[in-house]
Structure 1
Amino acid sequence: MSQVNNGSQDGEETYATLRNNANAIRAICAAVEGTLGPKGLDTMLVGSRGEVIITNDGVTILEKMDVTHPAARLLIQVARSQQDRVGDGTTTATVLAGALVAEGVAQVTRGVPVAKVVRGVQEGIAFALRSLARRSRPISGLDDPLLYRIAYIAGREYADLAGLVIEGAKRLGLQKLREEHFRFSDVILSRGKAEGEVWPGLLIQKKPANAQLEFPPDTAHILLFQDAFEPETVDEEALTTDAGFHKQLQLREQFREMLGKLIELRVGFIASERGIDPEAEQFCTDHGIMVLQRLPRAELRRIAEYTGARPLRRSGLRKPAHELAGYLGYAGHVAYDERLELVRMAEGKGRAQVSIVVGASTSEVVGERLRIARDAASSVQAALRGGCLPGGGAAEMAVAHELERYRETVQGMEGFGIAAVVQALRKPLAQIVVNAGYNPLEKVEEAKAAQIAAGSDSLGIDCDTGAVKDMLEQGVIDPAEVKLHALQAAGEVASAVLRIHTVIKMRDPRTEE
């Protein structure tokens, strides 16, 4: 009897780290899985100073949570990776990762070697990714009606937000949306008590540095500075000498003379990455030149791309006027919108650009609407790049059945890891129906039987009636890229967590001599 007890204790110690990590991940999943699907509810995040965020967005919930457990932080990395790569599907990725860990732990504690489970999980994920990619349906273009449904579903069924996103996409054009480094979601901004609109150009969220705020809404040549719009300086040590002091005075005098070139070149708008000299600011105010300061480099890059301007450093003002002209951009309309406190720029001579404004009555609501609209924009862009799949967990269910058949042909203990992937693929549909108030065991089996009988991968559960419906016919559609990356990221983090045998706290290098 004592031998049995010792063996049980040894087993408990062997799996202690694994179970501890699995419990931490389970706690994280519990915080977001209730938001999944059309019947998912919101989460209220409360800060230490009473600040409130009400959201349904998985990555926002995870990033704002106070999390210290190292394994839980690994799971949060899945959501961040999903957000950075495709901009949507963070909750799905988290739920899949949590399910993979739970199923993998169950297999390991049954006695299956961790290495075999991990290898099986990796093999199962690779099979599932190929299956999902093969099932992807292409989007025919910006006028494809499936595209609006994708925006509508990702936008939590807000028709106004879906409409804004689709209008913005059409103004940008297919080529721009398919650029590798362009993020459609970045063109969306929020404003309290504003009406939703699609502006055919740039909306720059900055107040002019000029003392005056009224500028004629007119054409403007654009000048951009990568550094400060101020005189060049000598170093502080040199300023302590007479030569250095006189050199500084000489540089300021040269700067005053160079300002005259702005009038000669008919510059109407200046933006700088850093600050602006007060004398230069006054000069621009006197001559009706709008000036923006301390713009992020990414914002300067957008202005340059839209207007055709070439940013230069302050030393570039030394160039002759005819050379400086080659650095100027152009916009047919530049004006400050005092109501929304931003600068409107349109009719740029560079590449096409749009800005989408999302409004709401309160700051809490407008923040959530901004997150929803950006999810919708990300999904639209992902669908244009990689096609779409039936939503509602239907595609994952079909892949799970195909993988289950494959698992029957696998010899060896890796099959247990593949079985873990099968169960995890059923989790999105199960969680969606739970959030809709139905029995997940019953509804998952109904969907599985219906898919097998019809030979279809688009049959799922209608969350309003509980009946089996064709998700494509119902307009429940997701981007293929969102599902593919979510599954891949979930598989990677699950494999990493399952392989952790020991957790050791690292020595603080700051305490070393």
Structure 2
Amino acid sequence: MSQSSSQKPQEADERLAALYSNATAVRAISSAVEGTIGPKGLDTMLVDTRGNVIITNDGVTILNRMEVTHPAAKMLINVASAQQEEIGDGTTTATLLAAALLNEGVAQVERGVPVTRVIEGIASGVHYAVERLQSRARSLDFLGEDVLYQVAMVAGREHDDIAHLVTEAAHLIGFEKLRDPQYRLSDHVMSSVGAQSEVFQGLILNKQRMSPQMPASVLEAKILIVDDALEPEEIDSEALGTEAGFQLYRHYKEEFRKHISALPQLGINVVFTDRGVSPVAEEVLGEAGVMIVQRVASKDLRKIAEHTGARPIKRTGIAKQPEELHRFLGRAESVVEDERMETIRIVGGYGKPLATILVGASTEEVVGERSRIARDAASSVQAAVRGGVVPGGGSVELWTAREVEKMRETVRGMTGFGVEAVARALRKPMTQIVQNAGFNPLEKVEEANVAQVELGSDSLAINCEDGSVSDMVEYGIYDPTLVKTHALRAAGEVTVAIMRIHTIIRMKDHSDDEE
């Protein structure tokens, strides 16, 4: 009898070996970033084998730079990367929620709840939690634009100068552009050692003019974009070996020189190309005082075109009639090379508004972290414009946890235990923030919970300075709704995916098949 009873726990452990292994790996990943969350969160130092150092508070940077081999751990890192790609912020929150959901789910399984029932409960609980969390969103139209600065301060880890830069850029761009799902304000954050931090209407390229003999500064720029090489049309090497081919090549060269010589007559004084520039074009345009910037990345060419109103052409496009070619040109107030920073600055384009946030610092390590902070702040501001905001500090998750607990009472059967796991996991953000601030999380989170119930509030949390229960709205502590909902949804998806894994099998190397 005793032998039979001792075998049952052992058999259960073997059946759940994959789940336990995965849960352990996820906990290890979560522990690497949990100390960074909240106003009292600390930094992490990443060191590679060459001694290169990154000091950061950014969750996705830490996760992506970690040396990780466990497949479940990689799944969690992929969730953080997806959060970064889709929203641009909230990667630490997504990681903490996923780890908390998995831990709570495993705890229910250890109580004897079938894994499938727990999975069902987590899926339905997360779905309901997202709906309830979305219902607490505050529109910026109601709150006022000052909230943008407060959102930038929270996401920017209380760097006042960065918050001001990002907010100013958002106002330059305008809310309509920020709501465009194809536009990302964070893509317009630039950084440079020794630069003065600023925001300006225009863009910066990490490029230089083709030749020092070309003008370093062009005012009232008339811009041609060649999405191609600025060279004569190519002739097949085999055809070039024939007399007819050689004559055709000479004809192309002569025509090319003629068309190139005509460009300055149209007032063109700046040319950007996707690829290389022939010596003929460099000579003719250089003598005419035209600035050429070659081998500009396609994404940068698109930005230039959008900001200046230019329409890119191929190399054959320079043969267009002057009046037709004129319609392809863009304009800007100035195009200037900064020789010390080795950059080209395009300011005051006549096309669509474009703001660049330039972040500077005295060292490479510091400027890298300030750049990451600025990108997080820019992403959060844009997310706030798109989907509104909710109270921060973990307050809205705590409110949502109680809503999920109410839902749990309506769920019959063992699925309710999975719903309960969601309610417990939603306490994790505030718990970790309080713990990082040096207070007892069990005591303080319960204080905030009781206060929320008594006052019917979703915005009460713990003040990390003195440990008191405070209203996050009164303190201006907001988080973008989209950051929260996407993080919760992503955490639920990866938790369900990991809990469904029954067995881990090492695949054979495909090279074995080839042999």
TM range (shorter): over 0.9
Write the distance in 1 (CA, Å) between the matches of 2:485 and 2:304.
34
Which residue number corresponds to residue 354 of structure 1? 355
**Residue 338 (structure 1) shift:** 2.2
Q: For the Cα contact (< 8 Å) 1:42–1:54, is it kept in 2?
A: yes
1:127-138 matches, within 5 Å, as 127-138=128-139
**Residue 236 (structure 1) shift:** 3.4
Which residue number corresponds to residue 165 of structure 1? 166
Which residue number corresponds to residue 194 of structure 2? 193
Which residue number corresponds to residue 328 of structure 1? 329
**Residue 146 (structure 1) shift:** 1.5
- Aligned partner of residue 135 in structure 1, secondary structure: coil
Aligned residue identity for 1:203: I
**Residue 443 (structure 1) shift:** 1.1
Write the distance in 1 (CA, Å) between the matches of 2:59 and 2:112.
34
Which residue number corresponds to residue 95 of structure 1? 96
Q: After superposition, what is the alpha-carbon deviation per residue over 1:221-246, rounded to whole angstroms, capped at 9, x for unaligned? A: 11111121112212334344444344
Summarize the Cα distance change of 1:109–1:188 in structure 2 as closer, same or farther, 3 Å threshold. Answer: same
Aligned residue identity for 1:418: V
Q: For the Cα contact (< 8 Å) 1:201–1:348, is it kept in 2?
A: yes
The sequence identity of aligned pairs, in percent, is: 52
- Aligned partner of residue 331 in structure 2, secondary structure: strand
**Residue 463 (structure 1) shift:** 0.6
**Residue 136 (structure 1) shift:** 0.6
State how many pairs are aligned.
513
Write the distance in 2 (CA, Å) between the matches of 1:443 and 1:241.
86
**Residue 205 (structure 1) shift:** 2.1
Write the distance in 1 (CA, Å) between the matches of 2:202 and 2:143.
19
Write the distance in 1 (CA, Å) between the matches of 2:36 and 2:242.
66
TM-score, reference length from structure 1: 0.97
Q: After superposition, what is the alpha-carbon deviation per residue over 1:94-138, rounded to whole angstroms, capped at 9, x for unaligned? A: 100111111111112222111111110011011111111111111
Q: For the Cα contact (< 8 Å) 1:141–1:384, is it kept in 2?
A: no
Give structure 1 stretches of 5+ with no counterpart: none
Which residue number corresponds to residue 141 of structure 2? 140
**Residue 147 (structure 1) shift:** 1.5
* Aligned: 1:300 with 2:294: no
* Aligned: 1:119 with 2:102: no
* Aligned: 1:373 with 2:374: yes
Summarize the Cα distance change of 1:189–1:141 in structure 2 as closer, same or farther, 3 Å threshold. Answer: farther
Aligned residue identity for 2:174: G
Q: After superposition, what is the alpha-carbon deviation per residue over 1:157-177, rounded to whole angstroms, capped at 9, x for unaligned? A: 011000111111111111111
Which residue number corresponds to residue 417 of structure 2? 416
Summarize the Cα distance change of 1:249–1:108 in structure 2 as closer, same or farther, 3 Å threshold. Answer: farther
Q: For the Cα contact (< 8 Å) 2:260–2:281, is it kept in 1?
A: yes
Which residue number corresponds to residue 278 of structure 1? 279
- Aligned partner of residue 21 in structure 2, secondary structure: helix
Summarize the Cα distance change of 1:369–1:141 in structure 2 as closer, same or farther, 3 Å threshold. Answer: farther
Moved more, 205-214 or 29-38: 205-214
Q: For the Cα contact (< 8 Å) 2:214–2:290, is it kept in 1?
A: no
Aligned residue identity for 1:501: H
Write the distance in 2 (CA, Å) between the matches of 1:208 and 1:504.
56
Moved more, 224-233 or 51-60: 224-233
CA-atom RMSD, angstroms?
1.6
Q: For the Cα contact (< 8 Å) 1:270–1:291, is it kept in 2?
A: yes
Summarize the Cα distance change of 1:335–1:70 in structure 2 as closer, same or farther, 3 Å threshold. Answer: same
Which residue number corresponds to residue 389 of structure 1? 390
Summarize the Cα distance change of 1:80–1:319 in structure 2 as closer, same or farther, 3 Å threshold. Answer: same
* Aligned: 1:288 with 2:289: yes
**Residue 86 (structure 1) shift:** 1.1
Summarize the Cα distance change of 1:499–1:317 in structure 2 as closer, same or farther, 3 Å threshold. Answer: same
Write the distance in 2 (CA, Å) between the matches of 1:102 and 1:409.
23
Aligned residue identity for 1:252: K
Moved more, 70-79 or 313-322: 313-322
Summarize the Cα distance change of 1:49–1:278 in structure 2 as closer, same or farther, 3 Å threshold. Answer: farther
Which residue number corresponds to residue 402 of structure 2? 401
Aligned residue identity for 1:73: K
Q: For the Cα contact (< 8 Å) 1:210–1:284, is it kept in 2?
A: no
**Residue 141 (structure 1) shift:** 8.0
Which residue number corresponds to residue 258 of structure 1? 259
**Residue 261 (structure 1) shift:** 1.9
* Aligned: 1:425 with 2:442: no
Write the distance in 2 (CA, Å) between the matches of 1:302 and 1:421.
43
Q: After superposition, what is the alpha-carbon deviation per residue over 1:287-332, rounded to whole angstroms, capped at 9, x for unaligned? A: 2211112212111111101111111111212222222112111112
Which residue number corresponds to residue 70 of structure 1? 71
**Residue 84 (structure 1) shift:** 1.0
Write the distance in 2 (CA, Å) between the matches of 1:382 and 1:24.
31
Write the distance in 2 (CA, Å) between the matches of 1:344 and 1:479.
32
**Residue 480 (structure 1) shift:** 0.7
Give structure 2 stretches of 5+ with no counterpart: none
Write the distance in 2 (CA, Å) between the matches of 1:256 and 1:47.
52
- Aligned partner of residue 63 in structure 1, secondary structure: helix
- Aligned partner of residue 269 in structure 2, secondary structure: strand
Which residue number corresponds to residue 35 of structure 1? 36
Aligned residue identity for 1:19: Y
- Aligned partner of residue 231 in structure 2, secondary structure: coil
Q: For the Cα contact (< 8 Å) 1:407–1:418, is it kept in 2?
A: yes
**Residue 340 (structure 1) shift:** 2.7
Q: For the Cα contact (< 8 Å) 2:264–2:285, is it kept in 1?
A: no
Write the distance in 2 (CA, Å) between the matches of 1:438 and 1:248.
78
* Aligned: 1:105 with 2:88: no
Moved more, 120-129 or 344-353: 344-353
**Residue 342 (structure 1) shift:** 1.6
Write the distance in 2 (CA, Å) between the matches of 1:91 and 1:44.
16
Summarize the Cα distance change of 1:511–1:212 in structure 2 as closer, same or farther, 3 Å threshold. Answer: farther
Aligned residue identity for 1:33: E
